[in-house]
Amino acid sequence: MTSDHGLTGLSPLLVLIMATATGLAVASNYFPQPLLPTMARDLGLSTTKAGVIVTTAQLGYAAGLLFLVPLGDLIERRGLIVVMALLSAAGLLTTALAPTLSMVLVGTALTGLFSVVAQILVPFAATLAAPEKRGKVVGTIMSGLLLGILLARTVAGALTSLGGWRTVYFTGAGAMVVATLVLRRALPRYHQPVDLSYFRLLLSIFALFRDEPVLRLRALIGAATFGTFSVFWTSMAFQLAGPPHRMSPSTIGLFGLVGVAGALAASSAGRLADRGKGGWATGGGLLVLLGSWAPLALVRYSMAAFLVGVLLLDLAVQGVHISNQAAIYRIRPEARNRLTAAYMTSYFLGGAAGSLGSAAAFGRFGWMGVVVLGATLSAFGGIVWTVVQLRVRGGHPR
């Protein structure tokens, strides 16, 4: 292992820097969603062609999760993070300057591929943190990540109104360059080499799934919870834009701000994990997640109840996610990036399935179809968790 200085924990300032950089990185992959109508008009695209931009971002991110995140267990971390962050900024700049859809897709693919630097920063923070503070640190970094996701749409909309959609990408590229320079100066060098080739490193991800029951359980729970999250957010805009509310896109975008409170509150799940109560945080979060669908079902009758449901859903999903990551980072310290790749790929696949199912449910059954699907996925996660815990003899929930 090589390091510029001893790994005796993280300063609050470095935690803040890593959380901010994580949020910026992941936000860059969510910029296209609110910008599609504007980009389509400017580039002369049909709705279908414009939709390919978001699909490209998702595919790039999925490829990065599988093929780049494991490199954190093979290559010196600070150098890898700096290079990936710069390449993500290059992708944003390519999109900002793109005259055609083809170049937009190239830039979007680059951004999606390298924005997974966020998923390298999270396990790196877990490695640098003192063991008794690891859960809290992971929770803080994950709050930064979620804030990036939730605020990307709001910020992109505001910047577009000021200077057009290209302004969003120019600003994002500049912010990523600044974040890269700060990370280069603030992060320690860290390398814990593993005796594996890159190909064997990728294969070892499947071996981790085979050998680690905690990873299998947490990956399944994560897929169910993020699937539930995607079920809600995929169809929410369609519901609110229709009768009886008929909200404008800008008003609907403000609902992402409600989730910010949930993201910030969810960091307490990391503190519970530090006290050995991560299992209780998981179980409680799954129960809250299931319960959130009751007020969400009342959207036609009570906006106050609906807002409570949004808050509870975001709080529960992020609380479970943080407790999941705290649990998997305990099992193989030397393989945290591969564990992240395995877990987040499952998480992403669950979200993609939730999005597809949500669109189909809303199209056929309306909002109540979405509610039933979301509640079913929530109940599935809770049942899986309960069954596994009942099989743990004389131990504590994991």
Q: For residue 262, what pLDDT is reported?
A: 66
- In angstroms, the first-to-last Cα distance of the chain is 30
Angle at 126 between CA 125 and CA 128, to 5 degrees: 65
| Measured torsion, CA atoms of residues 16, 263, 171, 341, in degrees rounded to the nearest 10 | 80
Q: For residue 104, what pLDDT is reported?
A: 94
The series of mean pLDDT values per 10 residues for the chain, 398 residues long, is 49 92 91 77 79 79 89 90 97 96 94 93 88 82 83 80 89 96 93 79 89 94 92 80 77 72 67 76 94 96 93 89 88 85 86 82 91 97 92 57
* Fold agreement (1-193, 196-398): yes
Residue whose C-alpha is closest to residue 229's, from 265, 261, 256:
256
Phi, psi dihedral angles at 142 (to 5 degrees): -70, -30
- Multiple choice CATH, 196-398, 3.90.870.40, 1.20.1250.20, 1.10.10.10, 3.40.50.720: 1.20.1250.20
**CATH class belonging to 1-193:** mainly alpha
Q: For residue 157, what pLDDT is reported?
A: 75
Which pLDDT tens digit goes with each residue over 125-143?
Answer: 988 888 888 888 888 888 8
Residue 108 class from Cβ within 10 Å (0-12 exposed, 13-18 middle, 19+ buried)?
buried
Residue whose C-alpha is closest to residue 381's, from 262, 229, 220, 234:
220
| Measured torsion, CA atoms of residues 318, 183, 177, 265, in degrees rounded to the nearest 10 | 20
Q: For residue 61, what pLDDT is reported?
A: 87
Distance, in Å, from the CA atom of 245 to the CA atom of 34, rounded to the nearest integer, reads 20
Q: For residue 48, what pLDDT is reported?
A: 67
Residue whose C-alpha is closest to residue 292's, from 347, 284, 360:
284
- Would you tell me how many other CB atoms lie within 10 Å of the CB of residue 284? 17
Residue the block writes with tokens 């790994």: 7
| Measured torsion, CA atoms of residues 305, 311, 317, 321, in degrees rounded to the nearest 10 | -160
HEC letters along the chain: CEECCCCCCCCHHHHHHHHHHHHHHHHCCCCHHHHHHHHHHHHCCCHHHHHHHHHHHHHHHHHHHHHCHHHHHCCCHHHHHHHHHHHHHHHHHHHHHCCCHHHHHHHHHHHHHHHHHHHHHHHHHHHHCCHHHHHHHHHHHHHHHHHHHHHHHHHHHHHHHHHCHHHHHHHHHHHHHHHHHHHHHHCCCEECCCCCCHHHHHHHHHHHHHHCHHHHHHHHHHHHHHHHHHHHHHHHHHHHHCCCCCCCHHHHHCHHHHHHHHHHHCCHHHHHHHCCCHHHHHHHHHHHHHHHHHHHCCCCCCHHHHHHHHHHHHHHHHHHHHHHHHHHCCCCHHHHHHHHHHHHHHHHHHHHHHHHHHHHHHHHHCHHHHHHHHHHHHHHHHHHHHHHHHHCCCCCCC
Taking the domains of the chain in order of start, what are their residue ranges?
1-193, 196-398
Q: For residue 253, what pLDDT is reported?
A: 64
Q: For residue 132, what pLDDT is reported?
A: 80
Q: For residue 135, what pLDDT is reported?
A: 80
Q: For residue 398, what pLDDT is reported?
A: 52
Q: For residue 85, what pLDDT is reported?
A: 97
Token pair for 267: 């960091």
- Would you tell me how many other CB atoms lie within 10 Å of the CB of residue 191? 14
Which pLDDT tens digit goes with each residue over 230-287?
Answer: 888 778 877 887 888 887 666 776 777 777 776 666 667 767 777 777 788 899 999 9
Report the predicted TM-score, pTM, of the whole model to 2 decimal places. Answer: 0.77
